[in-house]
């Protein structure tokens, strides 16, 4: 039978033992192996003492078992007319016990009221205030027993009033700006003028007790990199790049641009545009390096922008041995091309198709007269697909000798529509000029 007792005396914040049923308490069992949690019923102290048994019917009951190393948490609070999650408790605390092999665990308890939270902040950048561990949790030793105050443990809320309220942080940035914020990981501020500033941070708990941190920071001139261009960008086509530099631009001396780590444009004004043509597949990098006057001298501010190029699937038709030969002449954006696909559709059905990582051309023999759609798709190394459809009307010749040696039985095809195949996996940013898509070409192929 399960019979493990937890008991002890209860003292107030002045170290005086309670004498009656002033204190409410509740016990929690936590099983480490699977995170199982069980609370017992709320109890009242008797003569300033507490007592609960793991085998009680309102807890685990006598038919249950525990594992060595499991935990018991016992929460205490006053006054006894309020529940554990009330925000107006007078004093509260909890103890945590490791269950080993003993039958009885005796530990004295001390309840406490509000205590100062503990601030933990650092500063970085221009200027960022980092919260690296500010907490309202408390821990102290009483009668050789660790006592605690905290909001939660093992995912269970112990005392709601230990959470920080909204607008619990006050930040004086030292430049007449004072912010009131919720507790979060990071706070940022931009000073209008360069110089030295003194930051004061205060964190309040629900009892209006607070901790305070102070920092001396130097704010330098604020230079923000920026570069804009119009998408899509194609290989072997010139594109315009427009700086979007902001901040204290009057401190800027000049701007350099590196194309794929090669210094290409030098000594430009901060708002001066430039044109550039990429002659190899991407992606490419443009590094913007700004030279400016800082408080300590001249400094560089750099940022690298990645330029992804757009592919255009295309092919030409040439005379093949037994039929037309289709040859890829696509403009490759971000390469290399990892897959080439060719297909022919007749009456809405695919009648022939092939794909390979090096199939730059493909020969197909028209099976009969009618309307055929030739499909060509390419896939780049980023998994983006681009494609093109061209439709051919194939008719028998009225005269002449076909490829099979019989007169009058050859096939003639006439290309009459060319349209772009929808791209896959890449958002279509800009429609290609319809004049490039509706090309009427009429050719004759004798077979």
Residues 128-157 pLDDT 10s: 999 999 999 999 999 999 999 999 999 999
CATH classification for the domain delimited by 121-219, as one of 2.60.40, 3.30.200, 1.10.150, 2.40.160 = 2.60.40
The CATH H-level superfamily of 223-309 is Immunoglobulins (2.60.40.10)
CATH classification for the domain delimited by 5-110, as one of 3.90.180.10, 2.40.50.140, 2.60.40.1120, 3.40.190.290 = 2.60.40.1120
The residue behind tokens 């990199």 is 225
Phi first, then psi: give them for residue 315, nearest 5 degrees.
-155, 160
For residues 171-197, average pLDDT:
92
Instruction: Yes or no: say if 96 and 178 are a contact pair by the CB < 8 Å rule.
Output: no
**In the predicted model, is pLDDT for residue 219 greater than 90?**
no
pLDDT band at 441 (very low <50, low <70, confident <90, very high): very low
**DSSP track, 370-388:** EEEEEEEEEEETTS-EEEE
Question: 348: buried, middle or exposed (CB in 10 Å: 19+, 13-18, 0-12)?
Answer: exposed
pLDDT band at 409 (very low <50, low <70, confident <90, very high): very low
> What is the chain's mean pLDDT, rounded?
88
Phi first, then psi: give them for residue 161, nearest 5 degrees.
-70, -10
For residues 290-318, average pLDDT:
93
Distance CA 5, CA 417 (A): 89
Residue 127 has a pLDDT of 85
Instruction: Yes or no: say if 122 and 187 are a contact pair by the CB < 8 Å rule.
Output: no
**In the predicted model, is pLDDT for residue 406 greater than 90?**
no
Closest CA to 123 of 197, 181, 175: 197
Cα angle vertex 328, ends 326, 330, to 5°? 145
Residue range 311-437 forms a domain whose CATH class is: mainly beta
Query: Residue 227: enclosing H or E segment and its boundaries?
Result: strand 227-229
Distance CA 13, CA 93 (A): 10
The pTM assigned to this predicted structure is 0.58
What are 404's two structure tokens?
A: 């099979």
Q: Does 311-437 match 121-219 at the fold level?
A: yes
Report the 10 Å Cβ neighbour count for 154.
14
Residue 168 has a pLDDT of 96
List, for residues 6-46, the tens digit of each pLDDT value.
999 999 999 999 999 999 999 999 999 999 999 999 999 99
For residues 358-384, average pLDDT:
90
Alpha-carbon distance values, 36 to 80, 117, 398, 434 (Å)? 28, 31, 87, 66
Instruction: Yes or no: say if 164 and 152 are a contact pair by the CB < 8 Å rule.
Output: no
pLDDT band at 124 (very low <50, low <70, confident <90, very high): confident
What are 201's two structure tokens?
A: 């941070």
pLDDT band at 252 (very low <50, low <70, confident <90, very high): very high
For residues 55-70, average pLDDT:
93
Domain range summary for the chain, segments of one domain joined by +: 5-110, 121-219, 223-309, 311-437
Residue 412 has a pLDDT of 56
**In the predicted model, is pLDDT for residue 442 greater than 80?**
no
Residue 98 has a pLDDT of 96
Instruction: Yes or no: say if 158 and 146 are a contact pair by the CB < 8 Å rule.
Output: no
For residues 403-428, average pLDDT:
43
């Amino acid at each position: 039978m399960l019979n493990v007792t937890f008991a002890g005396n209860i003292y107030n914040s002045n170290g005086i033992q309670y004498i009656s049923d002033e204190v409410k308490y509740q016990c929690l069992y936590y099983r480490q192996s699977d995170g199982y949690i069980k609370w017992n019923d709320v109890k009242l102290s008797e003569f300033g003492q507490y007592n609960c048994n793991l085998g009680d019917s309102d807890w685990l009951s006598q038919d249950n078992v525990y594992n060595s190393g499991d935990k018991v948490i016992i929460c205490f609070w006053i006054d006894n007319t309020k529940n554990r999650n009330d925000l107006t408790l007078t004093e509260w605390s909890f103890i945590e016990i490791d269950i080993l092999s003993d039958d009885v665990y005796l530990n004295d308890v001390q309840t406490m009221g509000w205590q100062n939270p503990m601030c933990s902040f650092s500063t970085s950048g221009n200027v960022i205030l980092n919260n690296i561990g500010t907490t309202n949790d408390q821990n102290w030793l009483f009668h050789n027993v660790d006592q605690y105050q905290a909001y939660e443990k093992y995912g269970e809320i112990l005392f709601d009033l230990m959470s920080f309220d909204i607008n619990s942080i006050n930040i004086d940035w030292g430049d007449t700006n004072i912010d009131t914020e919720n507790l979060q990981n990071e706070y940022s501020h931009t000073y209008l003028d360069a110089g030295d500033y003194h930051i004061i941070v205060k964190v309040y708990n629900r009892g209006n007790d607070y901790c305070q941190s102070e920092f001396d920071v130097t704010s330098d001139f604020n230079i923000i990199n920026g570069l804009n261009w119009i998408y899509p960008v194609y290989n072997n086509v010139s594109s315009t790049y427009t700086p979007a530099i902001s901040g204290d631009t009057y401190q800027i001396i000049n701007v350099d641009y590196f194309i794929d780590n090669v210094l290409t444009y030098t000594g430009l004004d901060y708002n001066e545009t430039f044109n550039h043509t990429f002659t190899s597949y991407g992606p490419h990098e443009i590094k913007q390096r700004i030279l400016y006057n800082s408080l300590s001298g001249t400094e560089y501010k750099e940022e690298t922008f990645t330029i992804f190029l757009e592919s255009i699937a295309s092919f030409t038709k040439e005379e093949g041995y037994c039929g037309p030969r289709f040859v890829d002449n696509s403009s490759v954006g971000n390469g290399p091309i990892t897959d080439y696909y060719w297909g022919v559709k007749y009456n809405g059905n695919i009648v022939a198709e092939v794909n390979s990582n090096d199939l730059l051309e493909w020969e197909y023999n028209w099976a009969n007269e009618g309307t055929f759609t030739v499909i060509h798709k390419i896939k780049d190394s980023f998994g983006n697909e681009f494609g093109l459809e061209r439709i051919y009307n194939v008719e028998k010749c009225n005269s002449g000798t076909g490829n099979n040696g019989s007169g009058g039985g050859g096939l003639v095809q006439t290309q009459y529509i060319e349209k772009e195949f929808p791209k896959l996996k890449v958002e279509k940013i800009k429609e290609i000029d319809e004049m490039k898509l509706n090309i009427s070409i009429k050719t004759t192929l004798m077979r």
